[in-house]
Structure 1
């Protein structure tokens, strides 16, 4: 691992934590509320990104075991989808960007940062297809939670999940299917690129894949 990567991860994690604190405080003091703040996929994926970067930076500085590749890849996927969904579906809803600079950080900057982190420090071992399928579990649980809670409290975090809008549940079913397909395709691409970069790194370093303990000591 590059010597500068660990402190860079910690610095980015600290900045993202500040941005999320600003957003969380704003939500807690207006009509949004704390529960609704934690009901946005954007906020959850960025909280996960903060944790992965913070622990990854700390592990790199102290020689601890790094964040498991399956966890890192999942967070990269969730943030990538956050950026893609925002860019294609949500950017036209300015009300979602209550604090514009925070919106830019969580929707635009962080997906690119986590993807860059994955490319700079690719996985230690091969990411298997079953792992990619496992990455879909959290988005599925989130969709069930969002639709169930939304029906109970009449609040939905994103317009395309609101059945009161044109098309109702038929439109939502179509949107959810497309999201799952996008998650699977993007996840497969993230795994494939990570595997290719890892193979190139291992070939350059002598052909033997690095193990977990080797990565931990390299930080």
Structure 2
């Protein structure tokens, strides 16, 4: 691992934590509410990124076991999807742009940062298809939660999940299906990139692919 990567991860995690606290305080005081704040997949994904980056940086500085590649890959997938959904579906809704600089950090900067982190420090070895399928579990659980809670309290975190809007439940079901397909395709692509970079690194070093001992203590 590059010597600068561990402190860089900690610095990004600290900045992201500040952005989350700033956004959370704003939500708690402007009527959005804390529960609604944590009902946004964007906020949950960035919170996960904060934890994974902070742990990865700490592990790199102290020689501890690296952050699990499965967790790193999941964060990459969730934030890349977050950025794509924001850019294609949500940016046109001005009501969602409450704090512009936080929106830029969450939706534009962080997807690129975690993707770059995945490329610069690829996983230990090949990312198995079962891992990719595991990445889909939390987003699908989130969709069930968002739709169930939305129906109960008449509040949906994202307009495309609200069946009261034009298109009704058919449009909502279509959006959920497209999201599931996007998660699967992007997850497979992220895994393929990570696996290819890991194989290239191991071939360059003459290491056995997937040898965790060769990367003990890295983030």
Q: Fold-level match, TM-score > 0.5?
A: yes
Give the equivalent residue in structure 2 for 1:81: 81
User: Secondary structure at 2:216's aligned position in 1?
Assistant: helix
Give aligned pairs, total.
219
Give the equivalent residue in structure 1 for 2:129: 129
**What's the offset of the Cα at 1:210?**
4.9
Q: List 4+ stretches of structure 1 deviating above 4 A.
A: none
Equivalent residue runs for 1:8-27 within 5 Å? 8-27=8-27
- The alignment yields a C-alpha RMSD, in angstroms, of 1.0
Give the equivalent residue in structure 2 for 1:62: 62
User: Where does structure 2 lack aligned partners over 5 or more consecutive residues?
Assistant: none
Q: Measure the CA separation in 2 of the matches of 1:205 and 1:151.
A: 54
Normalising by structure 2, what TM-score?
Answer: 0.98
Q: Measure the CA separation in 1 of the matches of 2:92 and 2:132.
A: 31
Equivalent residue runs for 1:1-219 within 5 Å? 1-217=1-217
Q: Measure the CA separation in 2 of the matches of 1:7 and 1:212.
A: 22
User: Where does structure 1 lack aligned partners over 5 or more consecutive residues?
Assistant: none
Normalising by structure 1, what TM-score?
Answer: 0.98
**What's the offset of the Cα at 1:130?**
1.1
Q: Is the 8 A contact 2:127 2:191 kept in 1?
A: yes
Q: Is the 8 A contact 1:65 1:212 kept in 2?
A: no
Q: Is the 8 A contact 1:65 1:213 kept in 2?
A: no
Q: Is the 8 A contact 1:45 1:75 kept in 2?
A: yes
Q: Measure the CA separation in 1 of the matches of 2:218 and 2:78.
A: 27
Q: Measure the CA separation in 2 of the matches of 1:90 and 1:157.
A: 11
